[in-house]
Amino acid sequence: MAGLILRRVLFSIPLLLGVSTLTFLLVEAAPGKPVDYLLGDHPVPPETRARIEAAYGLDRPAWARYATWMGRAVTGDLGWSLSRSRPVTRVLADALPATVGLAALALAIQLVAGVALGALHVARPRGAADHTLTFLGLAAASAPPFWLGLMAILLFAVVVPIFPPSSSHAIDASSWPLPARIADALWHASLPALVLGLGSAGIVARFVRAGLLRSLGQGFVVAARARGGTPARILVAHAGPAAAGPVITLVGLQLPMLVSGALVIEVVFGWPGMGRVAYDAVMAQDLPVALAAVLLATFLVVLGSLGADLAQAALDPRLRGRG
Amino acid sequence: MRGFGPRLGLAILAAFCLLALAAPLLPLRDPAAQPDGLVLRSLPPWTRVDAVRLRDGSLRYAHEVRVEADGGRSLRRGDAWTRIAPEAVAQDHPDAHPLFVLGTDAYGRDLASRLVWGARVSLAAGILAAAMAVALGGVIGLTAGLAGGAVDETLMRITDAALSIPRLFLLVLLAALFRPSLGTIVLLIGSTTWMPAARLVRAEAQSARARDFVAAARALGCSPLRIAARHVLPHATTVLGVEAALRLGQSVLVEASLSFLGLGVPPPLASWGSLIADGRDRILDAWWIAAWPGIAIVLVVVAASLVADGVREGL
C-alpha cells in the first residue's frame, strides 16, 4: 500500500512538471504580450512600457522567468493574481473546497445511481424500467453538462421550485449556526451535483451491469447459491465486490471529465469553485491564476486516481501484495 | 451497418450533415438578420406573425394589420400605428402570415435557420477535430507500438500524462491565449483528444507486430513506414472507426462547451454552443432559445455512439 502511494506520488511529479512546462510554453507561444493586457488599448510611451516590463520581470528571457516561476511554485508561491490583487495561492485555496465538495457529491451520486441502475438491469433485465433508464442514461451522457444544468434550473428550480436556482448559500447564511450552514451549502450543491453526477451515471451503470453479469457466472457465486444464499445476498456480498474493480477503474479514468464538467457547471450555477475562478481569470486575462488552476485541477485528478487505486487495493486482496 | 440502432444513428448524422451542407440552398431566413426586434422578439415555437409584403418583396412585421379603404395598410407595432401607402404594398398576396417553426431569439432572429447554420459550425468543428485526433493518435500509437522500447515507454507516459489533465481547464486557457477561429478551435480540440486513439492503435500494432506477416514483410525488405501503413494499419481500422465516431460526438460536445463559455468560434458565426449561450439569460421567459440547440447536440452525440456500436460489431 505504501509502495503504491509512493509510486503514484513519484509519477505525479514529472506529470505536474510536464503540465507546467507545457502551459508555460503555450503561454509564451501565444500572440500578444502580458504587458498589452495590462495596458489595454491605451497608447503608452515606450519608456513606461519598459518600466512596467522591468517591474514584472517581463524583460528577462522566457527560460529565466520559467525557472523563477518554478522555483517559487515549489515553495507554494504561485504568483500574484492581476485581476484580484491577491496571491494566486489564496485565490485558489478559497475556491478549492467548493470544487472538491461539489465533485465529491457528484461522484457519490454517480456511483449510487450507476450501481442502482446496473443492479436493476441484472435483477430485472429487459423490463420497461430498465429500457427507459438505459435510454435516459445514454441521453444524459450525450448532453452537454452546461445545457443539462440550464434545463435542470428551468425545470427543478423555476417550473417546479424544489431546488435553489443558483449560488452557493442562502443570502443570510453567514449568521446561521455551523450545522445549518453546512446543510444549506449541501442543499445549494445538490442540483449542480445531481446534474454533474447523473450525466455519467449511465456509463457507470454499463460497467456495473457487465461486471455483475460476468461475476454471476463464476464458481464462487454458483457455490454461494448452492449453499442457499438469497439472490440479494449473492448480489451484495459475492458478485458485487467482484464486479467493483472495473467500475472503480472507470471512475478513476472519468475523473478528468468530472473536473472539466465541474468547470462549466460552476459557471452555469454560479458556484464559487476553481472552475469559476479559472474561467473568470481567463476572461480577465489573469494568466497566473489560469495557469495555476490548470495545474491544481491536474493535481486533483492525480489525487483522485490515487484514491481509486487505493480503493481497488482495499477491495481486491490480490492487488495488496504488489507494490 | 446492421441493426436498427446503428442505422438510425447513421440516418440522423446524415440528415444533420445534409442540412448543414444545404443551408445556403434552403429557403431559410438570414440567420443573423434582426428584421424586427419588437414584433419578432422571443416568439415561442410555431408562431405565426402578421406581416405585409411590400412591392420590393420585403416583409413588414406587425402585431396587428388593418386593411384600409384605399388598399393601403395600417400596422400596429407595440402601441404605435404606421400607415403604408397603397402603392408601396405588393400587388399579389400582400398579406402574409410567416411561420416561425422553432420560434425566435431575444433579437428576433429565426431560431430554425440559426440552428441549421449553427450545424455547419458545430459539425465542421466536430468532424475536423475528430479527424485530427484520430490521425494524430494513430501516428503516435503506430510509432509506439511498432518501435517498442524507450520510444514506446516515452510516448505512453506522455499519453498517460495528457489523459490526466482536465481538458476543459487547459482548453479554456488556450482558447483565451490564441484568438479563436474555426481553425484554431479544431487544432485545440484535436491536439487535446488524441490519447484514446493512440492507446487503441498501439495495442493493435503490438499484436500485429508479433505476427508472421510483419516478419515476412520485414524479411522482404519493406521499409518501416511501408510496414506500418500497409501491414499494420489495416488491422486498426475497426478500432479507429469506432474511436472516430465516438470522437466526433465528443468533439461536438467540447466545441459546444467552449462556445458556451464565449471562447469558441467568434461571431458572426454561431455554433450550437453559442446558441445555448444566447438562451442562457432568457431561460426563464424563453426556454426554447437554449432548448433546440441542446436537443440537436444530444441527437448528434447519441447518433455518433450508435454508429460507433455499429462499427464495433462489424460493418
Give chain B positions within 8 Å (CB) of A263.
166, 168-169, 172
pLDDT of residue A37: 67
Give chain B positions within 8 Å (CB) of A7.
none
Smallest CA–CA distance from B5 into chain A, residue: A135
- CA–CA dist B200, B207 (Å, integer): 11
Each residue's pLDDT tens digit, A225-272? 888 888 888 877 888 787 888 888 888 888 888 999 999 999 999 898
Each residue's pLDDT tens digit, A135-148? 888 888 899 999 99
Alpha-carbon dihedral sign for residues B122, B128, B134, B140: negative
Alpha-carbon dihedral sign for residues B72, B78, B79, B80: negative
Rounded alpha-carbon distances, angstroms, from residue B255 to A267, B122, B271: 16, 7, 8
- CA–CA dist A51, A295 (Å, integer): 30
Residue B137 Cα, gap to closest chain A Cα (Å): 18
> What is the H or E stretch that residue B2 is in?
none
Residue B267 or residue A166, greater confidence = B267
- CA–CA dist B42, B76 (Å, integer): 18
Give chain B positions within 8 Å (CB) of A282.
172-173, 175-176, 263
User: A260, B253 in Cβ contact below 8 A?
Assistant: no
**Range with top average pLDDT, A19-28, A212-221, A284-293, B160-169:** B160-169
* Nearest residue to B244 via CA among B160, B143, B164, B136: B136
* Nearest residue to B134 via CA among B191, B216, B76: B191
Each residue's pLDDT tens digit, A190-221? 899 999 998 888 888 888 888 888 888 888 88
- CA–CA dist B313, B245 (Å, integer): 13
Smallest CA–CA distance from A157 into chain B, residue: B284
- CB-nearest partner of A147 from B174, B178, B276: B276
Give chain A positions within 8 Å (CB) of B256.
144, 147
Q: What is the mean pLDDT of residues A11-35?
A: 77
Spell out the long-range contacts of A233-236 with Cβ–Cβ below 8 A and sequence spacing 24 or more. Answer: A235/A119, A235/A122, A235/A123
pLDDT of residue B200: 94
Each residue's pLDDT tens digit, A53-72? 787 777 778 788 888 888 88
- CA–CA dist A3, A320 (Å, integer): 10
* Nearest residue to B78 via CA among B36, B106, B35: B36
Residue A32 pLDDT class (50, 70, 90 cuts): low
- Mutating which of A146, A266, A268 best tests the B interface, going by the most B Cβ atoms within 10 A? A146
Contact B276 A30 (CB under 8 A): no
- ipTM of this complex: 0.91
> What is the H or E stretch that residue A80 is in?
strand A80-81
Average pLDDT along chain A: 83
Q: What is the largest CA-CA distance in chain A?
A: 88
Give chain A positions within 8 Å (CB) of B160.
15
What's the order of all strands across the beta sheet hosting B64-67? B64-67, B73-77, B80-84
Contact B166 A297 (CB under 8 A): yes
Which distant-in-sequence residues (6+ apart) come within 8 Å of A308 by Cβ?
A248, A249, A251, A252, A255
Positions in chain B short of pLDDT 70:
1, 315
Contact B164 A301 (CB under 8 A): yes
- Looking at chain A from residue 106 to 145, which residues have their Cβ under 8 Å from any Cβ of chain B? 138-139, 142-145
Contact A293 B169 (CB under 8 A): yes
pLDDT of residue A106: 94
The three cell numbers locating residue B132? 485530427
Q: Where are the domains of chain A?
A: 88-319
pLDDT of residue B76: 93
> What is the H or E stretch that residue A283 is in?
helix A274-283
- CA–CA dist A159, B284 (Å, integer): 9
Each residue's pLDDT tens digit, B257-308? 999 998 888 887 889 999 999 999 898 889 999 999 999 999 999 999 999 9
Contact A297 B284 (CB under 8 A): no
The three cell numbers locating residue A241? 465486490
Smallest CA–CA distance from A159 into chain B, residue: B284
**Of the options 1.10.3720.10, 3.30.70.270, 3.40.50.300, 3.40.50.360, the CATH number for the domain spanning A88-319:** 1.10.3720.10
DSSP E strand boundaries for chain B: 47-48, 50-53, 59-62, 64-67, 73-77, 80-84, 95-96, 99-100
- Mutating which of A150, A195, A266 best tests the B interface, going by the most B Cβ atoms within 10 A? A150
Q: Is the pLDDT of residue A323 over 50?
A: no
* Nearest residue to B186 via CA among B251, B140, B235: B251
The three cell numbers locating residue A19? 503540465
User: B19, B125 in Cβ contact below 8 A?
Assistant: no
Residue A34 pLDDT class (50, 70, 90 cuts): low
